[in-house]
Amino acid sequence: MAEQTVIDDRYELESMPIGEGGMGEVYRAHDRRLDRKVAVKLIRFPFGQHDETLVKRFLHESRIMARLEHPGAPAIHDVGVFDDPRVGSRPFMVMQFVEGISLDYIIDEHEDIPVSWVASAAAQVAAVLAAAHKRGIFHRDLKPSNLMLCHDGTIKVLDFGLAMFHDPDVSRLTRTGTLLGTPSYMSPEQVQGATLGPQSDLYTLGLVMHELLTGQRLFDGRTEYEVFHRQVNEPAPSVRTTRPEVPEEIDRLVLRLLEKHPADRPADAVEVCRALLPFTQGAGFLPGTVAEGSNPIHLYSAVVGSMTDTVGPTIPRKTRGGPVDLDQVRQVAVAFAHEARYNQAATLLEAVLSAVVPALAPDDPQVLTLRGELAEVLFKDSDYRKAAPIFAELHQVLAHHRGPDDEQVLHYRHREATCHALMGQTTEALRLLRALLADQQASYGPYDQRTLNLRRQIGLMELGAGDTGGARRTLLELLDDLEQHYGPDHPDTVKVRESLQRISG
């Protein structure tokens, strides 16, 4: 930027970016209104073309990420769209400015980093991932340059840029048609364009841990293709071959994180964090990386760390009576949802349901309608853990009254399965989707768009679960049907053909 750019008459961007990636650039900026330093990320559109759908998705995902509120992730202050004189309308995000040293610099400057320090850093990252995954947010671009060692000795996870875009067809591509993400830090399923779950982030955490412990990037090569081939096919070597003093438990954990099949990795980030905690004892600070003197953050952490997971006594809540106007509540909730204020809509619907359910039967039409709207709002808000059981109960009740082939029943069944998929529960999701496919084909026919989309979803999930053979069979059969029904140049046909080409390498 030759001239200073000011966004919303508030954020003054410095002339040169301090970081660049597949999804855009990050600038140091000054917030005029609050007189503070901030970081501003400008999002780059895939293929360099404005896409209003992506703008809406970006704004929605930003709201979800803004509620992450974890000390190990930068706070999000603002989000919007501004007119960039170079490329036109462009989304932006304003974040907390994090000062420190990225871990790629630590790897370059320090030899034989203490195991306890590596365990501490990785445990902090795992704690952030656990919080993110709970909200359905997968980082998908974890690497040393996105992990910042702050001056207080804590680690912050930066740049959830690829987490903004859940669609693999979008998140894989840049305007030049190349893959987004960094090849040396991509999971096998990400390389192959499969459906991703939390285990994909755990794989990349394993890559980072291996590099911190050995000082060498694990999978590198002269070309992207060579790196991709190694990620998919080459087993990870033991850390102890390079550093014999690394405890066997740490070595086994790293190798589990680096398993090629997601199902063979740890179940979740919480398990990883707990496995690392015993090895963080006595972890000191690396020389020259932490400001001297008593740090309030350390005092605060010591207090929190002394607390237990024990839940205190239940305190009864005050109850408030009075009639509830269900139609008015629904109208307000729908208005909130229309403005993508899903959290407010869910809070309102949950409150009214808790008030009316005791007085009405569980299968009362009003209750079913409210619960259906609540489940949809929770789904759009990425709260899949709450949404899944509601969808499950709804389709069971409705099937009893309307029959199993009712369109709403099939829709809720698909929603339930998708919730499990987005929580990383691939086995359960595939079981539900395969059962749904048989009923959906009987109801809609084999060439209905919903049926074809479901078949592709199953194929990509099989690939994400490490079932390459099953995915290839599913997608080959789908490709044959698409070519016969729609022709070889139809967009859906092209997508499936590209997925098969990625599987074949």
Could you say which of 141, 201, 381, 467 is catalytic? 141
Q: Provide the β-strand partners of residue 21.
A: 24
Please, which residues have CB within 8 angstroms of residue 169's CB and are 6 or more apart in sequence? 495
318 is in an annotated binding site: no
Token pair, residue 335, equals: 């208005």
Q: Pairing relation of β-strands 36-43 and 24-31?
A: antiparallel
- What does 11-78 look like in DSSP terms, one character per residue? EEE-SS-SEEETTEEEEEEEETTTTEEEEEEEEPPGGG---HHHHHHHHHHHHHHHT---TTSPPEEE
- Alpha-carbon distance 470 to 467, whole Å? 5
- Alpha-carbon distance 145 to 133, whole Å? 21
CB neighbourhood size of 289 (10 A): 17
State phi, psi for 30 to the nearest 5 degrees.
Answer: -115, 125
Token pair, residue 191, equals: 């390389």
Token pair, residue 363, equals: 């299968």
- Alpha-carbon distance 262 to 273, whole Å? 18
Q: For this structure, is 141 an active site residue?
A: yes
Token pair, residue 178, equals: 């190349």
Token pair, residue 352, equals: 């009214």
Q: b/e for 112-124, b at 16 or more Cβ within 10 A?
A: ebebbbbbbbbbb
Please, which residues have CB within 8 angstroms of residue 47's CB and are 6 or more apart in sequence? 173, 174, 175, 177
Summarize the annotated binding site for ATP as residue ranges. 41
Residue positions annotated with a catalytic role: 141
